[in-house]
Protein backbone atom coordinates (compact mmCIF):
# COMPACT_ATOMS: atom_id res chain seq x y z
CA UNK A 1 0.00 0.00 0.00
CA UNK A 2 1.46 3.41 -0.95
CA UNK A 3 2.22 5.75 1.91
CA UNK A 4 0.03 8.78 2.50
CA UNK A 5 1.36 12.11 1.23
CA UNK A 6 3.04 14.29 3.83
CA UNK A 7 1.60 17.49 2.36
CA UNK A 8 -1.72 18.43 0.83
CA UNK A 9 -2.15 21.43 -1.46
CA UNK A 10 -5.64 22.95 -1.27
CA UNK A 11 -7.14 25.59 -3.56
CA UNK A 12 -9.96 27.76 -2.21
CA UNK A 13 -12.02 29.74 -4.75
CA UNK A 14 -14.04 32.81 -3.76
CA UNK A 15 -17.76 33.25 -4.50
CA UNK A 16 -18.47 32.31 -8.13
CA UNK A 17 -20.77 34.95 -9.66
CA UNK A 18 -22.98 34.00 -12.59
CA UNK A 19 -22.05 32.77 -16.03
CA UNK A 20 -18.97 35.03 -16.34
CA UNK A 21 -17.49 33.51 -13.20
CA UNK A 22 -18.27 29.99 -14.34
CA UNK A 23 -16.83 30.55 -17.82
CA UNK A 24 -13.62 32.04 -16.45
CA UNK A 25 -13.22 29.19 -13.98
CA UNK A 26 -13.85 26.55 -16.65
CA UNK A 27 -10.94 27.89 -18.70
CA UNK A 28 -8.57 28.63 -15.82
CA UNK A 29 -9.05 25.89 -13.22
CA UNK A 30 -7.80 22.78 -15.10
CA UNK A 31 -4.62 24.58 -16.13
CA UNK A 32 -3.97 25.97 -12.64
CA UNK A 33 -4.59 22.59 -11.00
CA UNK A 34 -2.10 20.88 -13.29
CA UNK A 35 0.59 23.55 -13.10
CA UNK A 36 0.40 23.90 -9.32
CA UNK A 37 -0.30 20.23 -8.53
CA UNK A 38 -3.46 20.96 -6.56
CA UNK A 39 -4.79 18.05 -4.51
CA UNK A 40 -8.18 19.38 -3.38
CA UNK A 41 -10.45 22.25 -4.50
CA UNK A 42 -13.13 24.02 -2.44
CA UNK A 43 -15.25 26.76 -4.05
CA UNK A 44 -18.17 28.83 -2.84
CA UNK A 45 -20.97 28.51 -5.39
CA UNK A 46 -23.99 30.21 -3.83
CA UNK A 47 -24.03 32.98 -6.48
CA UNK A 48 -23.28 30.78 -9.49
CA UNK A 49 -26.76 30.93 -11.07
CA UNK A 50 -27.48 34.42 -12.35
CA UNK A 51 -25.71 35.95 -9.37
CA UNK A 52 -27.90 34.31 -6.74
CA UNK A 53 -28.46 30.64 -5.94
CA UNK A 54 -27.56 27.47 -7.81
CA UNK A 55 -29.32 25.00 -10.10
CA UNK A 56 -28.84 21.26 -10.46
CA UNK A 57 -27.31 21.79 -13.90
CA UNK A 58 -24.81 24.34 -12.61
CA UNK A 59 -23.96 22.09 -9.66
CA UNK A 60 -22.97 19.35 -12.12
CA UNK A 61 -21.15 21.86 -14.34
CA UNK A 62 -18.99 23.13 -11.48
CA UNK A 63 -18.10 19.68 -10.20
CA UNK A 64 -17.19 18.74 -13.75
CA UNK A 65 -14.57 21.48 -13.80
CA UNK A 66 -12.61 19.70 -11.08
CA UNK A 67 -14.07 21.22 -7.92
CA UNK A 68 -14.18 18.71 -5.07
CA UNK A 69 -16.54 20.50 -2.66
CA UNK A 70 -18.96 23.39 -3.19
CA UNK A 71 -19.75 25.51 -0.14
CA UNK A 72 -22.48 28.13 0.07
CA UNK A 73 -24.26 30.61 2.34
CA UNK A 74 -27.46 32.60 2.73
CA UNK A 75 -28.24 32.73 -1.02
CA UNK A 76 -28.21 28.97 -1.56
CA UNK A 77 -31.97 28.85 -0.89
CA UNK A 78 -32.83 31.23 -3.77
CA UNK A 79 -33.68 28.47 -6.26
CA UNK A 80 -35.77 25.67 -4.76
CA UNK A 81 -34.68 23.13 -7.35
CA UNK A 82 -31.35 22.88 -5.53
CA UNK A 83 -33.02 21.50 -2.40
CA UNK A 84 -33.02 17.90 -3.66
CA UNK A 85 -29.37 18.26 -4.71
CA UNK A 86 -28.49 19.46 -1.21
CA UNK A 87 -30.13 16.32 0.15
CA UNK A 88 -28.47 13.93 -2.31
CA UNK A 89 -24.95 15.33 -2.70
CA UNK A 90 -22.12 15.29 -0.19
CA UNK A 91 -20.19 17.66 -2.46
CA UNK A 92 -22.57 20.61 -2.01
CA UNK A 93 -22.79 22.06 1.49
CA UNK A 94 -25.06 24.61 3.15
CA UNK A 95 -24.07 26.32 6.41
CA UNK A 96 -24.12 23.83 9.28
CA UNK A 97 -25.68 26.24 11.77
CA UNK A 98 -29.07 26.31 10.04
CA UNK A 99 -31.78 24.23 11.74
CA UNK A 100 -31.37 20.50 11.22
CA UNK A 101 -34.76 20.35 9.48
CA UNK A 102 -33.61 22.32 6.41
CA UNK A 103 -32.35 20.42 3.35
CA UNK A 104 -28.75 19.33 3.05
CA UNK A 105 -25.71 19.02 5.26
CA UNK A 106 -23.19 21.48 6.64
CA UNK A 107 -20.09 19.32 6.59
CA UNK A 108 -18.66 16.36 4.73
CA UNK A 109 -15.69 14.00 4.84
CA UNK A 110 -13.81 13.11 1.65
CA UNK A 111 -10.68 11.05 1.00
CA UNK A 112 -7.71 11.97 -1.12
CA UNK A 113 -4.76 9.60 -1.43
CA UNK A 114 -5.80 7.84 1.77
CA UNK A 115 -6.20 11.10 3.72
CA UNK A 116 -9.49 12.16 5.28
CA UNK A 117 -10.50 15.78 4.68
CA UNK A 118 -13.34 17.44 6.61
CA UNK A 119 -14.96 20.48 4.98
CA UNK A 120 -17.20 22.54 7.27
CA UNK A 121 -19.50 25.35 6.10
CA UNK A 122 -20.70 27.98 8.62
CA UNK A 123 -22.64 31.25 8.36
CA UNK A 124 -22.13 34.36 10.47
CA UNK A 125 -24.83 36.12 12.49
CA UNK A 126 -23.63 39.75 12.59
CA UNK A 127 -25.73 41.75 10.07
CA UNK A 128 -27.19 38.42 8.92
CA UNK A 129 -29.78 35.89 10.08
CA UNK A 130 -30.28 34.78 13.68
CA UNK A 131 -28.92 31.29 13.25
CA UNK A 132 -27.40 28.90 15.73
CA UNK A 133 -24.04 30.01 17.09
CA UNK A 134 -21.35 29.23 14.48
CA UNK A 135 -18.72 28.94 17.23
CA UNK A 136 -20.66 26.31 19.19
CA UNK A 137 -21.69 24.54 15.98
CA UNK A 138 -18.01 24.23 15.07
CA UNK A 139 -17.26 22.88 18.55
CA UNK A 140 -19.93 20.21 18.20
CA UNK A 141 -18.95 19.07 14.71
CA UNK A 142 -15.18 19.15 15.19
CA UNK A 143 -15.17 17.45 18.59
CA UNK A 144 -14.96 14.00 17.04
CA UNK A 145 -13.67 14.91 13.59
CA UNK A 146 -11.50 11.97 12.58
CA UNK A 147 -9.52 13.56 9.76
CA UNK A 148 -6.00 14.68 8.95
CA UNK A 149 -7.18 17.96 7.37
CA UNK A 150 -10.01 20.27 8.51
CA UNK A 151 -11.20 23.08 6.21
CA UNK A 152 -13.73 25.77 7.20
CA UNK A 153 -15.61 28.21 4.94
CA UNK A 154 -17.11 30.93 7.15
CA UNK A 155 -19.71 32.81 5.11
CA UNK A 156 -20.10 36.05 7.06
CA UNK A 157 -20.52 39.81 6.69
CA UNK A 158 -18.53 41.19 9.62
CA UNK A 159 -14.75 41.00 9.46
CA UNK A 160 -14.59 40.99 13.26
CA UNK A 161 -16.75 37.86 13.45
CA UNK A 162 -14.57 36.12 10.88
CA UNK A 163 -11.36 37.01 12.68
CA UNK A 164 -12.84 35.87 15.98
CA UNK A 165 -13.72 32.45 14.53
CA UNK A 166 -10.23 32.17 13.08
CA UNK A 167 -8.71 32.62 16.52
CA UNK A 168 -11.35 30.36 18.08
CA UNK A 169 -10.50 27.48 15.75
CA UNK A 170 -6.74 28.12 15.69
CA UNK A 171 -5.04 24.77 16.13
CA UNK A 172 -8.23 22.83 15.48
CA UNK A 173 -8.71 23.68 11.80
CA UNK A 174 -6.11 23.48 9.07
CA UNK A 175 -7.66 26.51 7.35
CA UNK A 176 -10.42 29.03 8.06
CA UNK A 177 -11.37 31.12 5.02
CA UNK A 178 -14.04 33.81 4.82
CA UNK A 179 -16.53 34.29 1.99
CA UNK A 180 -19.61 36.45 1.27
CA UNK A 181 -18.39 40.04 0.78
CA UNK A 182 -16.86 39.39 -2.67
CA UNK A 183 -13.96 41.69 -1.73
CA UNK A 184 -10.62 39.96 -1.18
CA UNK A 185 -8.77 40.92 2.00
CA UNK A 186 -5.00 41.21 2.39
CA UNK A 187 -4.73 39.60 5.84
CA UNK A 188 -3.74 36.05 4.93
CA UNK A 189 -1.64 34.52 7.71
CA UNK A 190 -0.74 31.38 9.62
CA UNK A 191 -2.09 31.77 13.16
CA UNK A 192 0.10 30.64 16.10
CA UNK A 193 -1.69 27.29 16.43
CA UNK A 194 -1.08 26.44 12.76
CA UNK A 195 -4.37 27.50 11.15
CA UNK A 196 -4.23 29.26 7.77
CA UNK A 197 -6.56 32.26 7.79
CA UNK A 198 -7.95 34.94 5.46
CA UNK A 199 -10.99 37.13 6.17
CA UNK A 200 -12.39 36.94 2.63
CA UNK A 201 -11.32 35.03 -0.47
CA UNK A 202 -12.96 37.56 -2.77
CA UNK A 203 -15.04 36.87 -5.86
CA UNK A 204 -14.75 34.94 -9.09
CA UNK A 205 -16.76 36.93 -11.60
CA UNK A 206 -17.02 40.23 -13.51
CA UNK A 207 -14.22 42.63 -12.57
CA UNK A 208 -15.85 45.77 -14.01
CA UNK A 209 -18.73 45.68 -11.55
CA UNK A 210 -19.98 46.28 -8.03
CA UNK A 211 -19.33 42.92 -6.34
CA UNK A 212 -20.23 41.19 -9.62
CA UNK A 213 -23.33 43.22 -10.50
CA UNK A 214 -23.88 45.88 -13.18
CA UNK A 215 -22.61 49.21 -11.85
CA UNK A 216 -25.46 51.39 -13.09
CA UNK A 217 -28.10 49.18 -11.46
CA UNK A 218 -26.35 49.21 -8.09
CA UNK A 219 -25.72 52.96 -8.32
CA UNK A 220 -29.41 53.61 -8.91
CA UNK A 221 -30.27 51.77 -5.71
CA UNK A 222 -27.80 53.87 -3.73
CA UNK A 223 -28.85 57.14 -5.37
CA UNK A 224 -32.61 56.64 -5.18
CA UNK A 225 -33.05 54.15 -2.31
CA UNK A 226 -35.58 52.42 -4.57
CA UNK A 227 -35.56 48.65 -5.07
CA UNK A 228 -33.80 47.50 -8.23
CA UNK A 229 -33.17 44.07 -9.65
CA UNK A 230 -29.47 43.29 -9.69
CA UNK A 231 -28.00 41.92 -12.92
CA UNK A 232 -24.67 40.14 -13.35
CA UNK A 233 -22.16 42.34 -15.16
CA UNK A 234 -20.21 41.38 -18.29
CA UNK A 235 -16.69 41.94 -19.52
CA UNK A 236 -13.30 41.02 -18.02
CA UNK A 237 -13.29 38.70 -15.04
CA UNK A 238 -11.29 38.21 -11.88
CA UNK A 239 -10.59 34.86 -10.21
CA UNK A 240 -9.94 35.22 -6.49
CA UNK A 241 -9.02 32.73 -3.81
CA UNK A 242 -6.18 31.28 -1.82
CA UNK A 243 -3.81 28.34 -1.93
CA UNK A 244 -2.94 26.51 1.29
CA UNK A 245 -0.39 23.78 1.93
CA UNK A 246 -1.10 21.52 4.93
CA UNK A 247 1.24 19.19 6.78
CA UNK A 248 -0.85 16.02 6.87
CA UNK A 249 1.06 14.65 9.85
CA UNK A 250 0.01 17.52 12.11
CA UNK A 251 -2.98 18.96 10.27
CA UNK A 252 -1.35 22.38 10.50
CA UNK A 253 -0.90 24.79 7.61
CA UNK A 254 2.58 25.38 6.25
CA UNK A 255 1.67 28.27 3.97
CA UNK A 256 -1.16 30.37 2.57
CA UNK A 257 -0.98 32.43 -0.62
CA UNK A 258 -3.61 34.79 -1.98
CA UNK A 259 -4.66 34.34 -5.61
CA UNK A 260 -6.11 37.12 -7.76
CA UNK A 261 -6.02 36.59 -11.51
CA UNK A 262 -7.53 38.98 -14.08
CA UNK A 263 -8.74 37.54 -17.38
CA UNK A 264 -10.12 39.07 -20.59
CA UNK A 265 -13.76 38.57 -21.47
CA UNK A 266 -14.66 34.92 -20.86
CA UNK A 267 -17.99 35.03 -22.69
CA UNK A 268 -21.46 36.35 -21.78
Cα four-point dihedral sign 92, 148, 184, 159: positive
Return d(Cα 18, Cα 212) in angstroms, integer. Answer: 8
Q: Which of 59, 75, 155, 182 is catalytic?
A: 75
Return d(Cα 212, Cα 150) in angstroms, integer. Answer: 30
CB distance 154 to 165 below 8 Å: yes
E strand residue ranges, 14-129? 15-16, 40-44, 69-71, 107-112, 115-123
Cα distances from 231 to residues 36, 50, 103, 136, 145, in angstroms, run: 34, 8, 27, 36, 40
CB distance 180 to 194 below 8 Å: no
The answer to whether 75 is a known catalytic residue is: yes
Which residue numbers are catalytic? 75
Amino acid sequence: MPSKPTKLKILFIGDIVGRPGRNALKQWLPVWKKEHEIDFVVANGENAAGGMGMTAKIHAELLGMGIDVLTSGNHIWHKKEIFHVLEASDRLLRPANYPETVPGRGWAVHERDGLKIVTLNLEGRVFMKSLECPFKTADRLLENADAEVVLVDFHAEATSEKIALGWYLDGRASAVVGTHTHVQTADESILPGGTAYISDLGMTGPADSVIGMKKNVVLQRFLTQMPTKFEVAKGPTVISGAQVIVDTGTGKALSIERIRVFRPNSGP
